[in-house]
Structure 1
Amino acid sequence: MGIRVSKQVKMASNSRFAGKTALVTGAGKGIGKGVAEALLKHGARVIALDIVEEYLQSLKKKYPEITTVQVNLGDWKATKQAIESLPTVDLLVNNAGVLKMCSILETTEEDINLLLDVNLKAYLNVAQVVARKLIAEKRSGTFVNVASIAANKPLEQRGAYCISKQGVQMLTEALACELGPHGIRVNGINPGIINTDMIEALGEKRIRLATERTPLRRLGEVCDVVDAILFLLGDESSYMNGHSLVLDGGLLKNL
């Protein structure tokens, strides 16, 4: 079974997020790129952060108005400095992540450090800096943390990855409780198997089985996740806080 090419995100330009500054991590490709493009089309000033300079250059060439930031999110100090140098952010999408296929018994210290540094600690680091600026300026904001259905159920050969994503879900709840009184909403999204480059690590057999077990009988597409994230960022979800939205086509029901 071949991996289908994701549908291009198509949204009409409007001013839904006009006047807002948005920061998207892992914006070089996949879900992050889709979110960055959609926010730009909806009127936001977009800051795209990624570790791969080549991806950022490609994004900048296509959208000259985007601000790009190249940094390794696994480096706490470098990330903190990079975020502190940015203007105040109204909309934060913590999206960057890494997937490591390995059993719990085979997981090394290097493996778990990588997964926790990028998938969890970086989310806290970025959120801290962004939230402190908003609070100091008495401004409201909206954060979305991208986790995974791996936060809801342990998955084969992805034990350590599941741990990191469960941490993201609890971080979302903790941030929502602490930041809510300051007018900052924090929600999460737990995608299922989404048709991006990352799923290649699963192999064709796992992808095929996941598709067959999904009641909708298809993989998720980038645009599916983008639409949900825009909902969580927008006024339509103004009373949602501390919630992690599962977006998996019903896959969890059949696992």
Structure 2
Amino acid sequence: MHTARARTDAGTQTAGSPPKRVVPIETDILARNNKLARLNRQRLAEKGILALNLVSSPGSGKTTLLVETLRKMAGDNISVIEGDQETDNDAARIRETGVRAIQINTGKGCHLDAAMIGDALDRLQLRDRGVVFIENVGNLVCPAGFDLGEDSKVVVLSVTEGEDKPLKYPHMFAAASLMVLNKIDLAPHVDFDIERCETNARRVNPNIDILRLSARTGDGMEQWLDWIAARRESPRPRANALAESHRAASDTTATPEPR
């Protein structure tokens, strides 16, 4: 649970008077978001729609991965919700594949939230038994704490980043069902320890699935498509687990700091 603090002064400080009291007030600022996320999840489940929330640092290659995924799943009842602080560049790339895409610009905001997703679902007029890809704002911090009503978070990490990313941003990797290790074709040319990265991810989340993939060369794409297909065919068993992971991550950050 994320917390907000309020400081209240007990009278005016004067010589010889007791010190001012500081009263921490903890407020669950995610309560409204979580309620809307539950509604989104119920709405998607009723239509048999798989929703995947793609999260990563900027520059991980998740838009390229998404574009190549859409090309291979052409005509398969797919929609995309695209999140960026500014521009509709990525949504334009998505639409070039023939897939419906809604652009959400968050301005100074560093993540999508459940209200934004609910509004986008209205505009998409989704058909039953489809897939909705949500490409979140490039950020490994804020999106970890915001449940959107998705089935699974998919965290994309490229080999051009550090192999200690899962340890630096544990809440994101703990909330994810799958880590896509992207740009694997560059591995021979960069100083990146693949095995160490995967070990770090499993230290944070022992249950996380891991795929090695190159969206540019196509290596690993079939395994990625198989992973998506398996999620479409199964019921939504991870929905409650995902919601629990958000609550656990929030609780971790809720301990008041000493004043």
Q: Output the TM-score relative to the length of structure 1.
A: 0.44
- Bigger fraction of residues in helix: 1
Structure with the bigger RCO (C-alpha within 8 Å, sep 6+) is 2
Which one has the largest radius of gyration? 2
Q: Output the TM-score relative to the length of structure 2.
A: 0.44
